[in-house]
Structures are given as C-alpha cells and as structure tokens.
Structure 1
Amino acid sequence: MHTNLDDASPRCTCCGRNLYADELQHYGCRICLDRTDLDLRAFAGSDGLYARLGARLMPGSSAGGPSVSGSRTAPIPVRLEPLSLIARGGVVTILQTWIIDWHEQLDYRHPRWEGDLQQQCDQAVKRLRTLLPWAAERHVAFDEFSREIGQLRRRCEAQISGERPPRRIPLQCPCGVVLKVTLDSPGQQCGGCQTHYGHDELFKQLPLAERNAA
C-alpha cells in the first residue's frame, strides 16, 4: 500500500509529481515508469551501452579516436572505469541484484543466469522491464531503483562519449539534510524528513548548502 495515501495529494516518490487517480496506490507515476523503462532498454542489445563499453577499454578511446597517451610512461593496458562497469560487480551485477530483490518480494524462485555477461545483461533487462509495472506500483524502493538505473546509464554514456558527468549541486533541506542533485534531476526525496521535491521545488524552494554542510 502506498505510504502517501494519507496525504491530501499523493505524490510520485521519484519526481514528486501529484499522482493521477489511477495511480494513487503506486510509488511511481507513469512518466517515471516510462523514463526508467527507457533507461533499462539503453543497456541491452549489440548496439546497447553495455556492448559499446567494451570498445572503450583502451586508453584514449573514449572519444572515438585513436588511442593516445599523454604520458611518457607506458599507459595502463585498459581504462579502469569502463572495465569496472562491464566486469562482475558492474552493470550486470547491479541489474541482477535488483532482480533477486524483486523475486524475493514476489516470492518467486531465485533467478538463474545463463550465457556470457552480454547475454546476462540482455536477460536482466528483459526481466526487469517485465516486472517494472509491478515495481512502480508495489515496491517501496522503486524510487531508489529508478534513480540508480538512471545514474548507471549516465555513467556508461559518459565513458562512451568522453563527457564529464553532470555537476551535482548541494541543496539544503529545512530538516538539515543535504540533497545532491543535477540540473536534469526530475525530483528527489529527502532521506531525512521524507519530503518529496519535484524539479521546480528543488531549485526554487531550497537554498544552496553551505560548503561545510555539503
């Protein structure tokens, strides 16, 4: 049951938008569900983010040009950040961990992983997308899942394009907790007082946090 049902205007736990009448028992609105589905789809397939990361392992290859080292010493054989994303403990493990959690919540049997890591990535994406409507409606941590998948997608895209990740801005909630958001954040829930802030509320209502607080 949605924890916001006692509120006069129940809100999406991801973005803070008011929920429509057919969403009142949900944790995530349809907009955030669709956005999260797009984020998941971005990882899968031969031209997906996970497959493309493998081509960015060589030093100097992040921008699509030839490998170039700016040092006189021998470079590390591979770029560590893309490697950490495509190896065990990276993208595939994060996706599989959420599947295990969802299966436990639904009292389903433990999932089985088959094939190489690319195949497991594709299988994990397919399974998560299948269960996504349930999670948006019933899983108390849907906002955490949606946020983590979005951040993971941006990390992968940054490694592929060579762009720096967006700067995180520290904003001070009245309860004292510092929220670190980006300019494209759809919204965020304060981990201290559980207040939901939409995008406009974040940047119009909350002041920048003091340096020592951030």
Structure 2
Amino acid sequence: MNDLDTCLRCHRDLRDYETRQYICGRCEDLASRALNEIPQLYSQLGQHLHRGAGGNGPAVSGSKAAPVPLRLAVLDMQTEKGPILAPLQGWVRDWETYGHGELAETGSLQDRIDGACRTLRYNLRWAVQHHPAVDEAVDEFLAAWRTLTRITTGETAPRRIAVTCPCQQTLRITLDTRGETCPRCGAEYGHAEALRLPLAERRAAA
C-alpha cells in the first residue's frame, strides 16, 4: 500500500478517504473514462485511414482504387504491436500475474481491445490500492485515449509552453502536464507547480 500522502501520478494531496491508495480519485476517474471510451474510438479508426478522411468516412477518388496515401500512423494503430493494443495487453498480462485479469490473445483486434479495456477497468480499483506502478498504467491508458481522440476528432496536439526553472533551464510543458523534472538540476514539479513557473523569455534571432 502507498504510505505517501500524495498521488503518485499528479502529486496532489490525497484526501482522507484516498489514503493508502497510490493515486487519487481524479486520476482513477480519468483512467476509468479512458478505458470506457477507447473501444469505441478504436472502432472508428478505419474511417481515418486515408489522408483527407473525415468523420463521415474515408476520402474517395474518381477511380475504383483505394485513395492514397494511407496514414501510416493510423495503420500502425491497427496492428497487434501498435501503440494501442500492445500497451493495454501488456498491463493485462502484468495484472494477471497478481491474479487480477486474464489475457485473451484470440479474436479480432477489436475484440482484444474490448476485452483488455473491460478487464483493466474491472480491476482498476484493485490496482489503485495495491499496484505500485498504477500511475504508469494510467499514463499509458490516457496516452492511448488522447491519441485515438486526436485521430478521430482531428484535434491537434496540445500546445507546449516554454517556462524557466530557477536554475535557468527551459522546460516545455502543456496545460495538462502531470508534472515535470528539470534535466539540469533535477527539481521535480507537480502539475500546479509546473504551471506556476515563469514563462521563458524569447531569444532574439541572430
């Protein structure tokens, strides 16, 4: 069990009812939401496989041939070792060693995505209380969810903001950052602390 008084993921103080957990209720809710939505988002990838495809289906050309070029990043997501299925099944395999989950490696990729998310969501409460790396798991769930959301909605990656550590190292953060570690001095910043760092000054072009 976690003997700390802060969430391992976002570094917020744990409330009284969250003590002896590894992450806070907010991070748990984000993970549960991601695991609930990933299967539906994944099922929409086929509509975004071709460049220029929108929410109403793939772009079409005047010929009967499939439109080109393909979006290789989307194609990679639809593979067994891609950035969606592989990490999800990796955590199912890990939790299975604790007796919480059973990895299914048969069926279509969609079936395996559905099964992995269902298993992980069902056992999430156990992981929050007992798995010391649950913060890493949640990060990977949310990374998969964000990737799928950006593909299916056309959203761009969050804008990065340059801020300055007291040691004068420039850090590039986003508004939804969970924390940052300065590579120069090793200072660690939680979400709120990172957002309070002063903006980096723009350097004049030579």
Sort the TM-score into its range (normalised by shorter chain). 0.7 to 0.9
1:27–1:139 contact (8 Å) kept in structure 2: yes
Structure-to-structure mapping, 1:69-88, within 5 angstroms = 76-88=68-80
Q: 2:48 aligns to what?
A: 56
State the TM-score, normalized to the length of structure 2.
Answer: 0.79
Q: 1:141 aligns to what?
A: 133
- Say whether 1:92 aligns with 2:85: yes
CA deviation profile, 1:149-169 (whole Å, cap 9, x unmatched)? 212211111111222111233
Q: 1:2 aligns to what?
A: 2
- Say whether 1:37 aligns with 2:32: yes
Superposed displacement of residue 16, structure 1: 1.8
1:12–1:28 contact (8 Å) kept in structure 2: yes
2:104–2:112 contact (8 Å) kept in structure 1: no
CA deviation profile, 1:115-157 (whole Å, cap 9, x unmatched)? 1110111000000001111221222222222122212211111
Residue range with higher mean Cα deviation, 120-129 or 74-83: 74-83
Structure 1: how far apart are the matches of 2:182 and 2:88? 23
1:167–1:182 contact (8 Å) kept in structure 2: yes
- Say whether 1:188 aligns with 2:183: no
1:15–1:196 contact (8 Å) kept in structure 2: no
2:47–2:57 contact (8 Å) kept in structure 1: no
Structure 1: how far apart are the matches of 2:99 and 2:170? 36
Root mean square deviation, CA, Å? 3.1
Residue range with higher mean Cα deviation, 121-130 or 57-66: 57-66
Superposed displacement of residue 76, structure 1: 3.9
Q: Look up the equivalent residue of 2:193 and give its one-letter code.
A: E
1:43–1:50 contact (8 Å) kept in structure 2: yes
Structure 2: how far apart are the matches of 1:15 and 1:151? 15
CA deviation profile, 1:75-123 (whole Å, cap 9, x unmatched)? 744211111112122211121011112222x156862323111011100
1:56–1:62 contact (8 Å) kept in structure 2: yes
1:13–1:188 contact (8 Å) kept in structure 2: no
Indicate the structure whose relative CO is greater, using CA pairs within 8 Å and at least 6 residues apart: 1
2:114 to 105, 122, 128: 122
1:19–1:111 distance in 2 versus 1, CA, 3 Å: same
1:30–1:189 distance in 2 versus 1, CA, 3 Å: farther
State the TM-score, normalized to the length of structure 1.
Answer: 0.76
CA deviation profile, 1:148-196 (whole Å, cap 9, x unmatched)? 22122111111112221112335555689876532133x3263875845
Structure 2: how far apart are the matches of 1:209 and 1:89? 42
Q: How many residues align?
A: 196
Q: Look up the equivalent residue of 2:14 and give its one-letter code.
A: L
Gaps of 5+ in 1: 5-9
- Say whether 1:103 aligns with 2:100: no
Structure 1: how far apart are the matches of 2:160 and 2:198? 14
Q: 1:164 aligns to what?
A: 156
